[in-house]
Amino acid sequence: MNKKTLTKVSGDAGLDYKIHFPDGTRATIQNILSSIENRRRYLQNFHKASGLTCDCQTPGVPVRVGRRQIPSETYYLYPATHADRLRHKEDCPLRTADHQRPGPHEQGAETLDKTLESEAEESTDLVVHIEASGMYLTKMMEWMWSTSLLNARNPKYAPRDYDAVRKKLLQTAAAVRFTNNEKLADKLLIPQRFTKGKKEEINRTARAFAEQVAEQGPDRWGVIVAKVRTAQIQKKQATIAIAHTMLDLHISIDTATAPKPGDIIIARVCKRAGESGLTALEWAAFPVTEAWIPALSEHERTLLSALEERNASYVKPMPTTWQVNEDIRVPNCILRYHEQSIWMFIDETCDQANQPLKTQRKSWRWNTTQFSTLPELPS
Protein backbone atom coordinates (compact mmCIF):
# COMPACT_ATOMS: atom_id res chain seq x y z
CA MET A 1 0.00 0.00 0.00
CA ASN A 2 1.34 3.41 -0.92
CA LYS A 3 0.04 6.86 -0.30
CA LYS A 4 0.50 9.60 -2.83
CA THR A 5 4.19 10.42 -3.04
CA LEU A 6 5.04 13.40 -0.87
CA THR A 7 7.22 16.24 -2.11
CA LYS A 8 10.41 16.21 -0.08
CA VAL A 9 11.93 19.58 0.74
CA SER A 10 15.72 19.68 1.00
CA GLY A 11 17.37 22.23 3.24
CA ASP A 12 15.46 25.52 3.40
CA ALA A 13 14.01 25.25 -0.13
CA GLY A 14 10.64 26.95 -0.37
CA LEU A 15 10.54 28.01 3.27
CA ASP A 16 10.95 31.67 2.30
CA TYR A 17 7.60 31.73 0.52
CA LYS A 18 5.13 33.87 2.43
CA ILE A 19 1.62 33.28 3.68
CA HIS A 20 -0.68 36.26 3.19
CA PHE A 21 -3.34 36.55 5.91
CA PRO A 22 -6.77 38.22 5.55
CA ASP A 23 -5.78 40.99 8.00
CA GLY A 24 -2.82 42.01 5.82
CA THR A 25 -0.17 40.17 7.84
CA ARG A 26 2.56 38.35 5.92
CA ALA A 27 4.98 35.78 7.29
CA THR A 28 7.36 33.22 5.80
CA ILE A 29 6.45 29.56 6.02
CA GLN A 30 9.74 28.98 7.84
CA ASN A 31 8.84 31.51 10.54
CA ILE A 32 5.29 30.19 10.93
CA LEU A 33 6.32 26.54 11.28
CA SER A 34 9.48 27.14 13.33
CA SER A 35 7.79 26.42 16.67
CA ILE A 36 4.50 25.48 18.29
CA GLU A 37 4.35 28.99 19.75
CA ASN A 38 4.73 30.59 16.31
CA ARG A 39 2.11 28.27 14.81
CA ARG A 40 -0.33 29.34 17.51
CA ARG A 41 0.63 33.02 17.18
CA TYR A 42 0.12 33.20 13.42
CA LEU A 43 -2.54 30.57 12.79
CA GLN A 44 -4.83 30.31 15.79
CA ASN A 45 -7.08 33.26 14.83
CA PHE A 46 -7.50 31.94 11.28
CA HIS A 47 -8.53 28.38 12.08
CA LYS A 48 -11.04 27.39 9.35
CA ALA A 49 -10.95 30.93 7.92
CA SER A 50 -10.77 31.67 4.20
CA GLY A 51 -8.68 34.29 2.44
CA LEU A 52 -5.20 32.91 3.23
CA THR A 53 -2.83 32.45 0.28
CA CYS A 54 0.69 31.20 -0.37
CA ASP A 55 2.76 33.46 -2.68
CA CYS A 56 4.80 30.63 -4.22
CA GLN A 57 2.65 31.27 -7.31
CA THR A 58 0.98 34.33 -8.80
CA PRO A 59 -1.86 34.70 -8.05
CA GLY A 60 -1.47 33.18 -4.61
CA VAL A 61 -2.61 29.61 -3.91
CA PRO A 62 -5.41 29.39 -1.29
CA VAL A 63 -4.50 27.65 1.97
CA ARG A 64 -6.38 26.84 5.14
CA VAL A 65 -5.52 26.42 8.82
CA GLY A 66 -6.27 23.21 10.68
CA ARG A 67 -5.93 22.26 14.33
CA ARG A 68 -5.16 18.94 15.98
CA GLN A 69 -4.93 17.88 19.61
CA ILE A 70 -3.31 14.44 19.29
CA PRO A 71 -0.49 13.75 20.10
CA SER A 72 -0.25 17.44 21.09
CA GLU A 73 -2.23 20.53 20.25
CA THR A 74 -0.87 22.42 17.27
CA TYR A 75 -1.96 24.32 14.18
CA TYR A 76 -0.90 23.57 10.62
CA LEU A 77 -1.35 24.76 7.02
CA TYR A 78 -2.84 22.74 4.19
CA PRO A 79 -4.14 23.41 0.65
CA ALA A 80 -7.70 24.77 0.62
CA THR A 81 -8.92 22.11 -1.82
CA HIS A 82 -7.69 18.77 -3.12
CA ALA A 83 -6.88 20.36 -6.51
CA ASP A 84 -4.75 23.06 -4.86
CA ARG A 85 -2.25 20.46 -3.64
CA LEU A 86 -0.43 20.42 -6.97
CA ARG A 87 -0.78 24.15 -7.68
CA HIS A 88 2.05 24.98 -5.29
CA LYS A 89 5.57 25.10 -6.73
CA GLU A 90 7.65 21.94 -6.59
CA ASP A 91 9.89 23.36 -3.86
CA CYS A 92 7.02 24.68 -1.74
CA PRO A 93 6.56 22.62 1.46
CA LEU A 94 2.78 23.04 1.04
CA ARG A 95 2.72 21.30 -2.33
CA THR A 96 1.03 18.28 -0.74
CA ALA A 97 1.08 19.25 2.94
CA ASP A 98 0.36 15.63 3.88
CA HIS A 99 3.37 15.68 6.22
CA GLN A 100 1.63 18.37 8.26
CA ARG A 101 -1.88 17.01 8.22
CA PRO A 102 -3.04 14.64 10.95
CA GLY A 103 -3.47 10.99 10.03
CA PRO A 104 -6.95 9.46 9.78
CA HIS A 105 -6.82 8.36 13.43
CA GLU A 106 -6.26 11.98 14.42
CA GLN A 107 -9.09 13.10 12.18
CA GLY A 108 -11.33 10.76 14.10
CA ALA A 109 -10.25 12.24 17.42
CA GLU A 110 -10.67 15.76 16.11
CA THR A 111 -14.15 14.97 14.85
CA LEU A 112 -15.15 14.43 18.46
CA ASP A 113 -14.18 18.06 19.00
CA LYS A 114 -15.91 19.07 15.74
CA THR A 115 -12.77 20.76 14.48
CA LEU A 116 -11.91 18.69 11.42
CA GLU A 117 -15.34 17.69 10.14
CA SER A 118 -15.04 19.93 7.08
CA GLU A 119 -11.51 18.70 6.36
CA ALA A 120 -12.12 14.94 6.27
CA GLU A 121 -12.68 15.04 2.51
CA GLU A 122 -9.10 16.22 2.01
CA SER A 123 -7.68 12.72 2.69
CA THR A 124 -4.97 11.55 0.31
CA ASP A 125 -5.96 8.98 -2.30
CA LEU A 126 -4.91 5.39 -1.62
CA VAL A 127 -3.00 3.20 -4.06
CA VAL A 128 -2.95 -0.54 -3.31
CA HIS A 129 -0.85 -3.36 -4.68
CA ILE A 130 -2.34 -6.73 -5.58
CA GLU A 131 -0.52 -9.34 -3.51
CA ALA A 132 -0.80 -13.08 -3.03
CA SER A 133 -2.37 -12.63 0.38
CA GLY A 134 -5.15 -10.76 2.10
CA MET A 135 -2.78 -8.35 3.89
CA TYR A 136 -3.31 -5.52 1.41
CA LEU A 137 -7.06 -5.95 1.91
CA THR A 138 -6.63 -5.40 5.65
CA LYS A 139 -4.59 -2.27 5.02
CA MET A 140 -7.13 -0.99 2.51
CA MET A 141 -10.04 -1.66 4.85
CA GLU A 142 -8.35 0.02 7.81
CA TRP A 143 -7.56 3.05 5.65
CA MET A 144 -11.15 3.25 4.38
CA TRP A 145 -12.58 2.83 7.88
CA SER A 146 -10.42 5.56 9.42
CA THR A 147 -10.72 7.93 6.45
CA SER A 148 -14.50 7.54 6.68
CA LEU A 149 -14.18 8.41 10.40
CA LEU A 150 -15.90 5.13 11.23
CA ASN A 151 -13.21 4.48 13.83
CA ALA A 152 -14.58 7.25 16.06
CA ARG A 153 -17.57 7.01 18.37
CA ASN A 154 -19.42 10.05 19.66
CA PRO A 155 -22.63 9.57 21.69
CA LYS A 156 -23.80 13.03 20.59
CA TYR A 157 -24.43 11.66 17.11
CA ALA A 158 -27.14 9.20 16.09
CA PRO A 159 -26.13 5.52 16.40
CA ARG A 160 -24.73 4.04 13.19
CA ASP A 161 -26.59 1.45 11.19
CA TYR A 162 -25.66 -0.65 8.16
CA ASP A 163 -26.94 1.95 5.70
CA ALA A 164 -24.81 4.74 7.22
CA VAL A 165 -21.67 2.57 7.21
CA ARG A 166 -22.29 1.45 3.63
CA LYS A 167 -22.76 5.04 2.44
CA LYS A 168 -19.52 6.22 4.03
CA LEU A 169 -17.50 3.29 2.66
CA LEU A 170 -18.83 3.82 -0.85
CA GLN A 171 -17.85 7.48 -0.69
CA THR A 172 -14.35 6.63 0.49
CA ALA A 173 -13.94 3.85 -2.09
CA ALA A 174 -14.07 6.49 -4.81
CA ALA A 175 -10.56 7.58 -3.72
CA VAL A 176 -9.01 4.08 -3.92
CA ARG A 177 -7.31 2.74 -7.01
CA PHE A 178 -5.06 -0.20 -7.80
CA THR A 179 -1.55 -0.03 -9.22
CA ASN A 180 -2.93 -0.88 -12.67
CA ASN A 181 -4.98 2.35 -12.32
CA GLU A 182 -8.30 0.53 -11.98
CA LYS A 183 -10.71 2.19 -9.57
CA LEU A 184 -12.00 0.24 -6.60
CA ALA A 185 -15.47 1.76 -7.08
CA ASP A 186 -15.72 0.07 -10.50
CA LYS A 187 -15.03 -3.37 -9.02
CA LEU A 188 -16.79 -3.07 -5.67
CA LEU A 189 -19.97 -4.58 -4.27
CA ILE A 190 -21.31 -3.54 -0.87
CA PRO A 191 -24.81 -5.05 -0.76
CA GLN A 192 -27.79 -2.86 0.04
CA ARG A 193 -29.84 -3.58 3.14
CA PHE A 194 -32.26 -6.36 2.19
CA THR A 195 -35.95 -5.41 2.18
CA LYS A 196 -38.88 -7.06 0.47
CA GLY A 197 -39.48 -4.00 -1.67
CA LYS A 198 -35.91 -4.06 -2.99
CA LYS A 199 -35.54 -7.83 -3.26
CA GLU A 200 -35.49 -7.94 -7.06
CA GLU A 201 -33.17 -4.93 -7.35
CA ILE A 202 -30.73 -6.35 -4.81
CA ASN A 203 -30.64 -9.78 -6.42
CA ARG A 204 -30.26 -8.21 -9.87
CA THR A 205 -27.26 -6.21 -8.63
CA ALA A 206 -25.72 -9.33 -7.08
CA ARG A 207 -26.17 -11.31 -10.31
CA ALA A 208 -24.65 -8.49 -12.37
CA PHE A 209 -21.64 -8.40 -10.04
CA ALA A 210 -21.21 -12.17 -10.31
CA GLU A 211 -21.33 -11.96 -14.11
CA GLN A 212 -18.78 -9.14 -14.05
CA VAL A 213 -16.28 -11.30 -12.20
CA ALA A 214 -17.00 -14.55 -14.10
CA GLU A 215 -13.63 -16.23 -14.61
CA GLN A 216 -12.64 -15.43 -18.19
CA GLY A 217 -9.17 -14.07 -17.60
CA PRO A 218 -6.71 -12.81 -14.97
CA ASP A 219 -8.38 -9.39 -14.70
CA ARG A 220 -11.90 -10.73 -14.16
CA TRP A 221 -12.25 -10.14 -10.45
CA GLY A 222 -14.02 -7.82 -8.06
CA VAL A 223 -14.00 -6.78 -4.41
CA ILE A 224 -16.87 -7.45 -2.05
CA VAL A 225 -17.33 -5.85 1.38
CA ALA A 226 -20.18 -7.35 3.35
CA LYS A 227 -21.42 -8.51 6.71
CA VAL A 228 -21.22 -12.23 7.50
CA ARG A 229 -24.58 -13.89 8.17
CA THR A 230 -23.42 -17.49 8.74
CA ALA A 231 -20.28 -19.56 8.19
CA GLN A 232 -20.27 -23.28 7.40
CA ILE A 233 -16.87 -24.92 7.84
CA GLN A 234 -15.76 -28.17 6.22
CA LYS A 235 -12.11 -29.18 6.57
CA LYS A 236 -10.05 -26.23 5.36
CA GLN A 237 -12.84 -24.52 3.47
CA ALA A 238 -15.68 -22.31 4.62
CA THR A 239 -18.84 -21.18 2.87
CA ILE A 240 -19.87 -17.71 4.02
CA ALA A 241 -23.46 -16.60 3.65
CA ILE A 242 -23.33 -12.87 2.93
CA ALA A 243 -25.94 -10.72 4.65
CA HIS A 244 -28.38 -8.74 2.48
CA THR A 245 -27.76 -10.85 -0.63
CA MET A 246 -28.24 -14.39 -1.92
CA LEU A 247 -24.55 -14.74 -2.80
CA ASP A 248 -22.35 -17.28 -1.01
CA LEU A 249 -18.61 -16.78 -0.66
CA HIS A 250 -16.17 -19.71 -0.63
CA ILE A 251 -12.93 -19.09 1.26
CA SER A 252 -9.83 -21.05 2.20
CA ILE A 253 -8.97 -21.08 5.90
CA ASP A 254 -5.54 -22.70 5.79
CA THR A 255 -3.88 -19.94 7.80
CA ALA A 256 -6.77 -18.15 9.50
CA THR A 257 -9.96 -18.89 11.35
CA ALA A 258 -13.25 -18.43 9.58
CA PRO A 259 -15.05 -15.10 9.99
CA LYS A 260 -17.78 -15.08 12.61
CA PRO A 261 -21.38 -13.95 12.11
CA GLY A 262 -21.50 -10.17 12.45
CA ASP A 263 -17.93 -9.68 11.19
CA ILE A 264 -17.21 -7.54 8.16
CA ILE A 265 -15.43 -9.48 5.44
CA ILE A 266 -13.53 -8.00 2.52
CA ALA A 267 -12.50 -10.28 -0.32
CA ARG A 268 -11.10 -10.13 -3.82
CA VAL A 269 -13.32 -12.58 -5.64
CA CYS A 270 -13.87 -14.41 -8.92
CA LYS A 271 -16.61 -16.69 -10.19
CA ARG A 272 -15.41 -20.01 -11.47
CA ALA A 273 -17.21 -21.96 -14.13
CA GLY A 274 -19.49 -24.66 -12.76
CA GLU A 275 -19.38 -23.38 -9.19
CA SER A 276 -22.15 -21.61 -7.33
CA GLY A 277 -21.42 -18.39 -5.49
CA LEU A 278 -18.11 -16.55 -5.50
CA THR A 279 -14.61 -17.76 -4.65
CA ALA A 280 -12.22 -15.57 -2.67
CA LEU A 281 -8.76 -15.13 -4.18
CA GLU A 282 -7.76 -13.28 -1.00
CA TRP A 283 -9.83 -12.22 1.98
CA ALA A 284 -9.61 -10.60 5.38
CA ALA A 285 -12.00 -10.53 8.33
CA PHE A 286 -12.80 -7.29 10.08
CA PRO A 287 -14.55 -7.85 13.45
CA VAL A 288 -16.58 -4.88 14.68
CA THR A 289 -18.48 -4.01 17.84
CA GLU A 290 -22.18 -3.16 18.07
CA ALA A 291 -21.21 0.45 17.31
CA TRP A 292 -19.37 -0.67 14.13
CA ILE A 293 -15.96 0.07 15.69
CA PRO A 294 -13.18 -2.37 14.67
CA ALA A 295 -12.16 -4.73 17.48
CA LEU A 296 -8.93 -6.44 16.45
CA SER A 297 -8.83 -8.89 19.38
CA GLU A 298 -11.20 -10.31 21.99
CA HIS A 299 -9.58 -8.19 24.70
CA GLU A 300 -10.05 -5.13 22.55
CA ARG A 301 -13.70 -6.04 22.00
CA THR A 302 -14.13 -6.32 25.78
CA LEU A 303 -12.65 -2.85 26.30
CA LEU A 304 -14.57 -1.14 23.50
CA SER A 305 -17.85 -2.79 24.48
CA ALA A 306 -17.36 -1.59 28.06
CA LEU A 307 -16.77 1.95 26.81
CA GLU A 308 -19.87 1.75 24.65
CA GLU A 309 -21.92 0.67 27.65
CA ARG A 310 -20.67 3.80 29.39
CA ASN A 311 -21.67 5.86 26.34
CA ALA A 312 -18.10 7.12 26.02
CA SER A 313 -16.50 9.14 23.23
CA TYR A 314 -13.40 7.50 21.80
CA VAL A 315 -11.30 6.76 18.74
CA LYS A 316 -9.93 3.36 17.70
CA PRO A 317 -6.58 4.02 15.96
CA MET A 318 -5.93 1.68 13.04
CA PRO A 319 -2.42 0.16 12.98
CA THR A 320 -1.79 0.73 9.27
CA THR A 321 -2.81 4.40 9.43
CA TRP A 322 -0.96 5.33 12.62
CA GLN A 323 1.51 8.05 11.66
CA VAL A 324 2.32 9.96 14.84
CA ASN A 325 5.71 8.41 15.51
CA GLU A 326 7.11 5.01 14.62
CA ASP A 327 8.64 4.75 18.10
CA ILE A 328 5.33 5.30 19.87
CA ARG A 329 3.21 2.21 20.32
CA VAL A 330 -0.23 2.34 18.75
CA PRO A 331 -2.83 2.68 21.51
CA ASN A 332 -5.78 0.30 21.37
CA CYS A 333 -8.10 3.20 22.05
CA ILE A 334 -7.99 6.95 22.65
CA LEU A 335 -10.65 7.92 25.16
CA ARG A 336 -12.06 11.43 25.20
CA TYR A 337 -12.69 12.09 28.86
CA HIS A 338 -13.43 15.38 30.63
CA GLU A 339 -11.89 17.50 27.82
CA GLN A 340 -8.71 15.42 27.76
CA SER A 341 -7.40 12.37 25.93
CA ILE A 342 -6.46 9.13 27.65
CA TRP A 343 -4.43 6.66 25.62
CA MET A 344 -5.53 3.11 26.45
CA PHE A 345 -3.19 0.15 25.93
CA ILE A 346 -3.79 -3.59 26.15
CA ASP A 347 -0.73 -5.73 26.92
CA GLU A 348 -1.41 -9.14 25.38
CA THR A 349 2.16 -10.46 25.63
CA CYS A 350 4.87 -10.34 28.29
CA ASP A 351 7.03 -8.26 25.95
CA GLN A 352 4.32 -5.62 25.71
CA ALA A 353 3.76 -5.66 29.45
CA ASN A 354 7.47 -5.12 30.12
CA GLN A 355 7.83 -2.38 27.52
CA PRO A 356 7.64 1.17 28.94
CA LEU A 357 5.26 3.55 27.20
CA LYS A 358 7.07 6.42 25.49
CA THR A 359 3.99 8.58 25.12
CA GLN A 360 3.71 11.69 27.27
CA ARG A 361 -0.08 11.46 27.20
CA LYS A 362 -2.14 10.32 30.18
CA SER A 363 -2.46 6.54 29.78
CA TRP A 364 -4.34 3.47 31.01
CA ARG A 365 -3.05 -0.12 30.69
CA TRP A 366 -4.53 -3.59 30.93
CA ASN A 367 -1.97 -6.36 31.41
CA THR A 368 -3.92 -9.40 30.20
CA THR A 369 -1.00 -11.73 31.02
CA GLN A 370 -1.70 -11.08 34.73
CA PHE A 371 -5.34 -9.98 34.85
CA SER A 372 -8.02 -11.72 32.81
CA THR A 373 -10.76 -9.27 33.78
CA LEU A 374 -11.00 -5.66 32.64
CA PRO A 375 -9.39 -3.22 35.13
CA GLU A 376 -11.35 -0.27 36.44
CA LEU A 377 -11.95 2.32 33.74
CA PRO A 378 -11.30 6.04 34.30
CA SER A 379 -14.08 7.53 36.41
299 φ, ψ to 5°? -65, -40
Q: What is the pLDDT of residue 103?
A: 37
Q: In whole angstroms, how large is the CA radius of gyration of the chain?
A: 23
Q: Judge contact between 62 and 53, C-beta under 8 A.
A: yes
Cis? peptide before 71, omega within 30° of 0: yes
Q: What is the pLDDT of residue 324?
A: 52
Q: What is the pLDDT of residue 82?
A: 62
Q: What is the pLDDT of residue 99?
A: 36
Encode 269-307: b = buried (16+ Cβ within 10 Å), e = exposed: bbbeeeeebbbbbbbbbbbbbebbbbbbeebbbbbbbeb
CA distance 93 to 32: 12
Chain centroid to CA 125: how far?
12
Q: What is the pLDDT of residue 122?
A: 35
Neighbours of 317 (CB within 10 A): 25
Among residues 104, 134, 98, 126, the alpha carbon closest in space to that of 183 is found at 126
The whole-number mean pLDDT for each consecutive block of 10 residues of the chain, a chain of 379 residues, reads: 29 70 90 83 87 88 78 73 73 59 36 30 57 75 87 85 92 84 89 84 87 78 92 87 86 78 92 84 90 92 94 87 66 83 90 79 90 89
CA distance 267 to 285: 9
Q: What is the pLDDT of residue 166?
A: 93
Q: What is the pLDDT of residue 226?
A: 93
